[in-house]
Each structure stands twice: as structure tokens, then as C-alpha cells.
């Protein structure tokens, strides 16, 4: 067994077609450390321990600690990726509106679309030789649009080498937060484009009666999630029916708001000023397609060329069942 403290770390670990950690795990499997003091650490974390690099907390090291040797510098791009991913996860909205995530290894993807026989009723018995209700599954006529989202670092190594990693992580997390906002916009755009002009009108504006009708129109699906702009969100929360003690406790405990009919509420600036409500059944509405994980300019990062190093992620979205999402607007 190769010990974690004598592994040669090279740029090539970023070019295997796997993530850096996956490539490192193939060389130094975590299962070999069961029952030891290193149990619970993955291969990357064991390398941080090897070089005594502390990336978080009040006693975190400076950025320069990664560049104490050629081996330790190979860990820096993975540190950047993980910090960005942490920011993406902490700001994540997409996971609350997608039914499935598909990972692909190319930039071409054709999603499937499904059409259900809505006229069939649950209490219909299928007699021998009788018609059986259908669900038609076919390839989408067009490719799923994939968008590259990210940021370019504009900083010299000299400017950041003495910065604490704990603080630098916060800066990198903002990149993840930005990617999360962009992907939320991409997901909602996919729904809006698919619905086209199929938009209902909330006559009289945001009222409880209108929202109940909107919820009721989802059958046989369930309205699990409402996404809207800040102004509309405020109007909804000011309705007397939304002033519920249980909902208030849930908001204080989790930061998430729910409606009297059980749908969670998501506020986004992407819809700012549009007076639009997007409702969906998150179990059936949308598929996320992701081309790999977070990608960095590992060559530049390892060589301390941070001036124009990019961090990005490629993803797209495709509706699955048309009836699982609806849009309403008001004036």
C-alpha cells in the first residue's frame, strides 16, 4: 500500500477525466485507513494533513503555505474548487426546483420529454383487451442548451500570498454564490421558454383566492414550489392567510417559508419587476444536465499565475412534464 505521505502530486492528476480527489483516491483509497486516526478524511484532506495546511478557522494558514513545494502546490486548484463548491451549495436554489440531475461528459445532450394521457382517471378498471392509458416518451427535438457560468480571478500572487486561507475562502465562496444565482436564472428561463405564451393571469393581483386557484390548477401534479420576485413575495406574505404560526416557526428554524397549502416559497431577483409567479412540482418539472464539476485553470493556479485564472461550471436545464410547471402574471 502506498502511504499518503510519499505520493507524488502532479498536474496530471487534473487531466485523468476524473476529479482531482477521485484520481487521488484511486492511488490512495480511503478504505485503507479504516480504524486509523485518518479515518473520515478523503485523499485530498490527507494531503492537507501531510503538508500541515490549515484551510479554515482562526489559525488557518496563509495562501503561500500551498506553495511550500511543487507537490503541495498541486493541491491549490482543488482547494479553490472546493471553496467555490461550498459557496454554490450554501446558496443553492436549483436543488429545490429540479427533479433529477444528469452528469454528462460531452457538450451535446438531448433530453427526453414525456406526455401523459391526462384523460385517464384513477378509478378506471382496465378490462381484458381494453385500452391501457399511455405515457409517451421521446427525445426532445432540440439539444439542451448548456451554459458556462463562472468568474475570472484578477489578482497577483504577491497581493494574496499573505492572506489567511479562511478569508480567501470567503472570496472564493462568492464565486460559487454567483454561479448558483446564474443557474437559478437558467433553470427558470428553461421553464419560461418552454411555456411560451401559456401564461395565466391573476385578475385583481396577488390574492389568496387567486393563489388557491393557481394551486388547484396543478392537478394531477402537486404545487410544491413557488418562485417569484421580491415584490410579489412581500405581497404574498402580507396576506392574512399567510400569517400562520407554524409557518413562522418553520421560517425561524430553517429560513424557508411555506404557504398555507404546503408549497415552499423562493424569492429571486431574476424575476424582479416582472410581476410573475412560477409554480412547479419539483418532483416532475425539470432536469438539470451538468457537464462535469467545477473547472479551474489548474495550470495557472499551480504556477501562481492568478492574474487571469478562471473558475467555471457548465450546466443546462430541460423540462420533463409540461403540466408540472405553470406561470401566472398580474398587472
pLDDT at 248 over 60: no
pLDDT at 245 over 60: no
Q: How far apart (Å, rounded) are the C-alpha atoms in residues 203 and 330?
A: 7
Neighbours of 202 (CB within 10 A): 20
pLDDT at 179 over 70: yes
pLDDT at 133 over 80: no
**Residue 262: predicted pLDDT:** 84
**Residue 120: predicted pLDDT:** 58
Mean pLDDT over 38-57 rounds to 95
Tens digits of residue pLDDT in 57-112: 989 999 999 999 999 999 999 999 999 999 999 999 999 999 999 999 888 888 88
Tens digits of residue pLDDT in 300-325: 999 998 888 999 999 999 999 989 99
Q: How far apart (Å, rounded) are the C-alpha atoms in residues 251 and 238?
A: 15
10-14, 101-105, 122-126, 186-190 — most confident range: 186-190
Higher-pLDDT residue of 323, 123: 323
35-49, 248-262, 303-317: least confidently modelled range: 248-262
**Residue 173: predicted pLDDT:** 97
Tens digits of residue pLDDT in 264-297: 999 999 999 999 999 999 999 999 999 989 999 9
- Can you give the pTM of this predicted structure? 0.87
Q: How far apart (Å, rounded) are the C-alpha atoms in residues 137 and 145?
A: 20
**Average pLDDT score, the chain:** 89
**Which band of pLDDT confidence, cut at 50, 70 and 90, is reported for residue 247?**
low
Pairing of strands 264-267, 225-228: parallel
Task: Compute CA distances 296 → 14, 239, 313, whole Å.
Answer: 10, 46, 9
**Residue 131: predicted pLDDT:** 73
Higher-pLDDT residue of 322, 253: 322
pLDDT at 249 over 60: no
Mean pLDDT over 193-211 rounds to 92
Burial class (CB in 10 A: 0-12, 13-18, 19+), 272: middle
Higher-pLDDT residue of 253, 317: 317
Residue 146 neighbours by CB under 8 Å, 6+ apart: 107, 109, 289, 291, 314, 315, 316
**Domain 188-289+317-329: assigned CATH number:** 3.30.2320
pLDDT at 201 over 70: yes
Mean pLDDT over 191-205 rounds to 92
Q: Where are the domains of the chain?
A: 188-289+317-329
**Residue 121: predicted pLDDT:** 60
Pair 97, 227: CB distance under 8 Å: yes
Q: How far apart (Å, rounded) are the C-alpha atoms in residues 39 and 294?
A: 26
**Which band of pLDDT confidence, cut at 50, 70 and 90, is reported for residue 118?**
low
What would you report as the CA-atom Rg of the chain, rounded to the nearest whole angstrom? 24
Tens digits of residue pLDDT in 134-166: 778 888 878 899 999 999 988 899 999 999 999
Pair 290, 88: CB distance under 8 Å: no
Amino acid at each position: 500500500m502506498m502511504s499518503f505521505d510519499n505520493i507524488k502530486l502532479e498536474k496530471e492528476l487534473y487531466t485523468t477525466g476524473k476529479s482531482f480527489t477521485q484520481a487521488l483516491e484511486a492511488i490512495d483509497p480511503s478504505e485503507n485507513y479504516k480504524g486509523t486516526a485518518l479515518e473520515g478524511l478523503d485523499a485530498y484532506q490527507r494531503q492537507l494533513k501531510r503538508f500541515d495546511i490549515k484551510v479554515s478557522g482562526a489559525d488557518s494558514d496563509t495562501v503561500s503555505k500551498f506553495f511550500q513545494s511543487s507537490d503541495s502546490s498541486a493541491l491549490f486548484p482543488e482547494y479553490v474548487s472546493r471553496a467555490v463548491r461550498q459557496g454554490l451549495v450554501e446558496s443553492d436554489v436549483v436543488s429545490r426546483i429540479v427533479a433529477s440531475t444528469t452528469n454528462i461528459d460531452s457538450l451535446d445532450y438531448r433530453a427526453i420529454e414525456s406526455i401523459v394521457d391526462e384523460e385517464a382517471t384513477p378509478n378506471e378498471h382496465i378490462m381484458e383487451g381494453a385500452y391501457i392509458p399511455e405515457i409517451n416518451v421521446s427525445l426532445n427535438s432540440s439539444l439542451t442548451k448548456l451554459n458556462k457560468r463562472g468568474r475570472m480571478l484578477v489578482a497577483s500572487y504577491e497581493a494574496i500570498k499573505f492572506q489567511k486561507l479562511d478569508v480567501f475562502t470567503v472570496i472564493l465562496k462568492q464565486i460559487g454564490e454567483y454561479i448558483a444565482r446564474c443557474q437559478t436564472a437558467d433553470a427558470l428561463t428553461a421553464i419560461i421558454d418552454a411555456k411560451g405564451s401559456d401564461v395565466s393571469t391573476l385578475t385583481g393581483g396577488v390574492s389568496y383566492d387567486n393563489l388557491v386557484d393557481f394551486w388547484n390548477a396543478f392537478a394531477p401534479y402537486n404545487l410544491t414550489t413557488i418562485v417569484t420576485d421580491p415584490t410579489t413575495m412581500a405581497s404574498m406574505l402580507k396576506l392574512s392567510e399567510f400569517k400562520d404560526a407554524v409557518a413562522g416557526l418553520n421560517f425561524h428554524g430553517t429560513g424557508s417559508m411555506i404557504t398555507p397549502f404546503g408549497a415552499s416559497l423562493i424569492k429571486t431577483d431574476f424575476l424582479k419587476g416582472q410581476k410573475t409567479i412560477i409554480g412547479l412540482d419539483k418532483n416532475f418539472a425539470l432536469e438539470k444536465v451538468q457537464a462535469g464539476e467545477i473547472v479551474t485553470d489548474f495550470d495557472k493556479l499551480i504556477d501562481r499565475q492568478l492574474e487571469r485564472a478562471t473558475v467555471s461550471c457548465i450546466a443546462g436545464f430541460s423540462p420533463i412534464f409540461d403540466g408540472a410547471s405553470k406561470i401566472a402574471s398580474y398587472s
